Structure 1
Amino acid sequence: MSALEGLEVRRTTTAQQLADGLSERIMAGAFGPGDRLRESAIAAELGVARNTIREAVRILELTGLVRYEVNRGAVVIAPTREKVEALYTARERLESAAIVRAPRPEQLDAITAAFEDLERAAETGDASEIVDRDLAFHQAVVALLDSTRLDEFFAALTKELRFYLTVLSESETPQEVVAEHRLILDAIRLGDRDRAVAEIQAHVATSVERLNQLL
């Protein structure tokens, strides 16, 4: 008997699909910071079981987009300076550790391709696409660590980072986003590790400063 006999490959659950849909609407501003996600109302409007909505909201809680409050239930996160500092410190330390490693040719190709995708997205002016390509670039940088667990950790961070990058898209132009990433890529290509770390740190510091101004 095969060790895999009876194993079923299942499609994405309804709860995950709902979580993805709610996440997109939070990013789009349909739900603002502090807004309640009324499970019963959402279930009634979408025609799904309330337990399914509750499971979807729990998924969002794990991504950092919502939190539970006593007597209020699930609410969309309200960004604070403390949350921004904690999130971006974790990001900066992870990327700084990654970028000092010399990339293999295929890794450099992946980072370069991610940058080119970001450039193309910037030309369209599509904020959502720019955010996606921005995160993909940094995911390619983290991949220099050659650790699937750290790749997964950063991928989890991007759930919350996407929220903040969407906020940032209101205060920076696509050209500014591309320019900052080009500096990082140039340093990697030159093999200048000190400059690469400095560019990552400057990039993160600029993001934190802009977010704090918005907050």
Structure 2
Amino acid sequence: MTTLRPVSTVEALAAALRERVLSGEIVPGAALPEQELSARYGVARPTVREALAVLVHEGLLRRERNRSAYVPEVTAEDLADLMYVRRPLEELMAEALAGRRVAEAEAALDRLDGLPPDAPWAAVVAGHMALHEALIVAVGSPRLGRLYGALAAETRLGLVGLRDAYEDRHELAAEHRELLEVIARGPADAAKQAVRDHLRWRES
């Protein structure tokens, strides 16, 4: 029997704010004053403070002295540098997995492709990240996983800007299905090239 863990108020508030950030409702640079959030969600300010701390820890928010937490901006230069760093990590993944199918990644892709048209963009971001993380985990290198995980927050924030580039969610799923197919077929050189092509950041 599976036991469900009760969700605390802090976790519920963090989840609600996370969805708003990753769906682009809270735009980069926007401040999240504790008092306003407390009034909007009907929770105490310490609860707001803890929920914000969760998202700061995840890298989705930034907090500075004497300033409300806010959504950091990911510039075009940031995205270019992010791809520059992600590319060798994902090429290592492609080389290691060439000729193999990764069931967890294919399951994540099916979930992504099965999202309803009105699903929040945050759900698309989560599905996309789950697919890529499943590929990284399948390599079996804890250090590769840690390096890739360090880029997760910026990658998720960068994906927020792509919501207008993929009006048809199935197009995003199709691109990833093609990537998985090339990796599964191999050889390593073809898999690595597919990763390089995939990581060319699409303009919205």
In structure 2, the residue matched to 1:22 is 17
Pick closer, same or farther for the CA change 1:30–1:174 going to 2, 3 Å: closer
For the aligned residue pairs, the C-alpha RMSD in angstroms reads 3.0
In structure 2, the residue matched to 1:143 is 137
Tell me, in whole angstroms, the C-alpha distance in 2 between the residues paired with 1:44 and 1:175: 38
Q: Residue 174 of structure 1: which of 160, 166, 169 is its match?
A: 169
More deviation in 150-159 or 198-207? 150-159
Pick closer, same or farther for the CA change 1:159–1:79 going to 2, 3 Å: closer
Counterpart of 1:31 in structure 2: which amino acid?
Answer: I
Q: Does 1:96 align with 2:91?
A: yes
1:98–1:143 Cα contact (<8 Å) kept: no
* Cα shift readout 1:171-197 (whole Å, capped 9, x = no counterpart): 134343233213311211212211111
1:92–1:201 Cα contact (<8 Å) kept: yes
1:103–1:144 Cα contact (<8 Å) kept: no
Pick closer, same or farther for the CA change 1:89–1:125 going to 2, 3 Å: farther
1:187–1:193 Cα contact (<8 Å) kept: no
2:99–2:184 Cα contact (<8 Å) kept: no
Tell me, in whole angstroms, the C-alpha distance in 2 between the residues paired with 1:166 and 1:15: 24
Tell me, in whole angstroms, the C-alpha distance in 2 between the residues paired with 1:153 and 1:52: 31
Which protein, 1 or 2, shows the higher relative CO under an 8 Å CA cutoff with sep ≥ 6? 2
In structure 2, the residue matched to 1:81 is 76
In structure 2, the residue matched to 1:4 is none
Counterpart of 1:143 in structure 2: which amino acid?
Answer: V
* Cα shift readout 1:117-160 (whole Å, capped 9, x = no counterpart): 33333x74645343332222212211222135644664564444
Q: Does 1:131 align with 2:131?
A: no
Pick closer, same or farther for the CA change 1:31–1:100 going to 2, 3 Å: same
In structure 2, the residue matched to 1:201 is 196
What is the TM-score when the length of structure 1 is the normalising length? 0.75
Question: What is the SS of the residue equivalent to 2:25?
Answer: coil
* Cα shift readout 1:63-86 (whole Å, capped 9, x = no counterpart): 222212454321121221233234
In structure 1, the residue matched to 2:179 is 184
In structure 1, the residue matched to 2:47 is 52
Question: What is the SS of the residue equivalent to 1:100?
Answer: helix
Counterpart of 2:165 in structure 1: which amino acid?
Answer: S
- Name the structure where helix makes up a greater proportion of residues: 1
Q: Does 1:32 align with 2:27?
A: yes
Tell me, in whole angstroms, the C-alpha distance in 2 between the residues paired with 1:182 and 1:71: 46
Q: Structure 2 regions of 5+ residues with no counterpart? A: none
* Cα shift readout 1:42-94 (whole Å, capped 9, x = no counterpart): 12333333222222212212222221245432112122123323433343332
Counterpart of 1:68 in structure 2: which amino acid?
Answer: R
